[in-house]
Structure 1
Amino acid sequence: MRSHFRADRQLTARMLVTLFLLGLLYVAFIAALVALLRSWVLVVVIAAGLLAAQYWYSDRIALFAMHAHEVSAQEQPRLHGVVDRLCAIADMPKPRVAISEMDMPNAFATGRNADHAVLCVTTGLLRRLEVEELEGVLAHELSHVAHRDVAVITIASFLGVLAGLLVRFAFYSELFGGRGQRNDQNTAVLLAIIMAVSAVVYVISFLLIRALSRYRELAADRSAAMLTGRPSTLASALTKVSGDIARIPTEDLRTAQPFNAFFFSPALGEGASLASLFSTHPSLQRRLDQLAKISLQLGEPT
């Protein structure tokens, strides 16, 4: 699918490099598990099953976790109107449109490709933004769909999910021969090695995905600004959303944080400077600075 979103070769190159490195890591991880567990069939079946589920059902999983539901044009005419207009300008298929009943102002896109994409916004976002600001946010999310980086992030995050699940699986399953053998020295050593390998794999995949995610957010901001021709309205939306998210109750933020890589703005509260070192998004100031430069390039009136 080709759209009128400007091609971003740097984004494409970074996605390919990240996927290549994660692919090498994935092969090494599976090989290590096969050598340790001596059951390549079990390892491959579990890994393939989890990857397939995450790839094919990522949209359903995200909507369920965010308490979201699809809405029709009759239910949300303003929202559908903005999406229709942007898809026509970008010459891309219209994704399904959903709403999450959350006060946290945010939006995300998910789905394995443009033909199976879902664009979701929260009621908090709809309530806070003007139409022009909402258009900038939705153009940002549609850029993720057009550049296929939604699917890339979904696949890339799989390795970290697998590593984390394996640690839990090691504790709670009969993989190591049942409770009767848990005091066995060989079993304890095997468990320690698998946990160590899983931890290393998780950390490396975590850092690679964060680096890619920060760049993809800048790329989506740039594409949205160029498509709408109004970088200032996207900057206004970013400022509003980031400021309001910091005032959302901590419990609500924790519910949303597992999906930070997909959000328009990360679910981080005040005092999250340490978390920003490993954030899925660049800093607000960096995003605003980029939009200000684009505004000057386009000669947008101030």
Structure 2
Amino acid sequence: MRFDRLRLTLGLWLRMLVATLVAVVGMTTLVVVEVGLAALMAAAFIESIPGIVIPFFAVGVVATVGFGLWISIAAVYRRLLPVSLVVGRIDHDGVADVLEWFARGLTRPPVPLTRREATLAVGIPSIALAGYLAIDHLPHLTPFLLGFVVGVGLVCYGTGRLVYNEWTADGAVRETVTEATRVPREADPDDDLEAERAALQRRVDRLAAQATIPSPTVALGRSSAPVAASVGYRPSTSTIVVSRGLVERLSERELEAVLAHELAHVINRDAAVLTALSLPATKFKAMMVGEDQEDEPAEDESTEATGESPVVGPHQGFMIVPMVPVFLVTTLAIASLARYREYVADQAAIAITGDPAALASALETLDADLERRPATDLRSHRSTAAFSIVPPPWDEHRFFDRTRRFVARRVFGTHPRTEKRIERLKTRTGDLER
């Protein structure tokens, strides 16, 4: 038993080392490629300043100043005359109504750009003009050198923003999982469900006390699909999301084992580790589909399910050649690590409860239940599959089903085969009985 635990720990650290090296090399490669491309684009932009940018910059300045004056005057006028802009100076006939409509239009100028778009529209030409003037007065400063400096700055900003968004995205993930499991909101409380949730919270509090860690929050949803998931980067701010369907289908021992498994993910900070190591793949997808599209909420059907692919522009196509290998290798390393961390979480759950048979039985129950469920019930579960204890059943395809299943489940899957996990747990049960 001790040898198995040592082998599991060594296997985890070996995979962690490989995934970390792959992530560092991948992120470095992406940054170098992005800096080079940004430098070339910035240098070409600076070179085109005399013939293109300066006239547009002049027009932009005039338009910006004029639009700013319009907004300021309109705001003052609305404050002085808040009710009737025509103010009864002419009779209220058809002409007065038209004048009133026209006056209100003048005092409410349209805002065609967001604050960010307006900043970019003014800031980029201003920086480009300043760079052109610097090149004109500093003989050793070339367009490519200045473009390289600008490229480094843009890439550092973009990468920093990506890292910040990823490390603050656990709230969005929690929202996705709680919505999929239909957790009641504070504005719509459910007293019966809250009583069940409080009982689950006491269970988790006891298990957390055994593991000597802060107890995560428990959220209970109304969904009939069996779901158990843990989200959050730190134990004190994590949430274990459980569906009522899971509670109804498991015995007391099985439910305790599943809660211990999810608590093990929290203890091992699996979400934080996998998020950090997935940054190169996340950056690749952001560069391919664009940052604005990446920030949009995901649809119910993923691109894998619908067969659709993001639109790739010409400049993005130029970057695909060196970056696709980085994306594939990083994704493979992360998938391998994620599958192995399920075994580690199973082992930690056994250490907490001392009952491997209960966890094996729970996995059998949940896997069999999902196999029996209709496709309509499984759609919501698929949205939480990456966080749940067992993956949803495989949808058979007419062509190349075995190959597609092997690639999706064995190569890029985030969960090992449930049968293999059960086999390991039963082996541990036999060891404990001896």
Q: Report the TM range for the smaller structure's normalisation.
A: 0.7 to 0.9
Partner Cα separation in structure 1 for residue 260 and residue 227 of structure 2: 13
Partner Cα separation in structure 2 for residue 213 and residue 136 of structure 1: 20
3-state SS of 2:272 partner: helix
Q: Which amino acid aligns with 2:355?
A: R
Partner Cα separation in structure 2 for residue 40 and residue 254 of structure 1: 43
Query: Contact 2:201/2:217 (CA < 8 Å) preserved in 1?
Result: no
Q: Which amino acid aligns with 2:272?
A: A
Taking the TM superposition and a 5 Å limit, the aligned residue runs for 1:1-302 are 8-38=9-39, 39-58=151-170, 60-66=171-177, 67=179, 69=183, 74=195, 76-169=197-290, 190-250=315-375, 253-257=378-382, 259-271=384-396, 274=405, 275-277=408-410, 278-299=412-433
Q: Cα offset for 1:32?
A: 1.0
- Report which stretch shifted further, 129-138 or 245-254: 245-254
**1:119/1:133 CA distance change after superposition, 3 Å:** same
Q: Which amino acid aligns with 1:218?
A: Y
Query: Contact 1:242/1:284 (CA < 8 Å) preserved in 2?
Result: yes
Q: Which amino acid aligns with 1:157?
A: S
Q: Which amino acid aligns with 1:65?
A: T
Partner Cα separation in structure 1 for residue 209 and residue 194 of structure 2: 16
Partner Cα separation in structure 2 for residue 172 and residue 82 of structure 1: 41
**1:197/1:246 CA distance change after superposition, 3 Å:** farther
**1:31/1:64 CA distance change after superposition, 3 Å:** same
**1:248/1:153 CA distance change after superposition, 3 Å:** farther
Query: Contact 1:260/1:266 (CA < 8 Å) preserved in 2?
Result: yes
**1:73/1:101 CA distance change after superposition, 3 Å:** closer
Partner Cα separation in structure 2 for residue 172 and residue 190 of structure 1: 16
Query: Contact 1:80/1:97 (CA < 8 Å) preserved in 2?
Result: yes
Note the aligned Cα RMSD (angstroms): 3.0
- Report which stretch shifted further, 41-50 or 201-210: 41-50
- Report which stretch shifted further, 140-149 or 8-17: 8-17
Partner Cα separation in structure 2 for residue 93 and residue 70 of structure 1: 24
Pair member with larger Rg: 2
3-state SS of 2:218 partner: strand
**1:154/1:122 CA distance change after superposition, 3 Å:** farther
2:102 aligned residue: none
- Report which stretch shifted further, 61-70 or 142-151: 61-70
Aligned length: 282
Q: Cα offset for 1:199?
A: 2.9
3-state SS of 1:243 partner: helix
Partner Cα separation in structure 1 for residue 383 and residue 156 of structure 2: 26
Q: Which amino acid aligns with 1:61?
A: A
**1:156/1:93 CA distance change after superposition, 3 Å:** same
Q: Cα offset for 1:51?
A: 1.8
**Runs of at least 5 residues in structure 1 that lack an aligned partner in the other structure:** 174-186
Query: Contact 2:230/2:240 (CA < 8 Å) preserved in 1?
Result: yes
Query: For 1:231-273, what per-residue CA distance to the aligned partner results, in whole angstroms no more than 9, with x for missing partners?
Result: 1110111011112223344355455445433221113335486
Q: Cα offset for 1:102?
A: 2.8
3-state SS of 2:372 partner: coil
Partner Cα separation in structure 2 for residue 171 and residue 50 of structure 1: 12
Greater relative CO, 1 or 2 (CA 8 Å, sep 6+): 1
**1:110/1:172 CA distance change after superposition, 3 Å:** closer
Query: Contact 1:247/1:270 (CA < 8 Å) preserved in 2?
Result: no
**1:128/1:75 CA distance change after superposition, 3 Å:** closer
TM-score (norm 2): 0.59
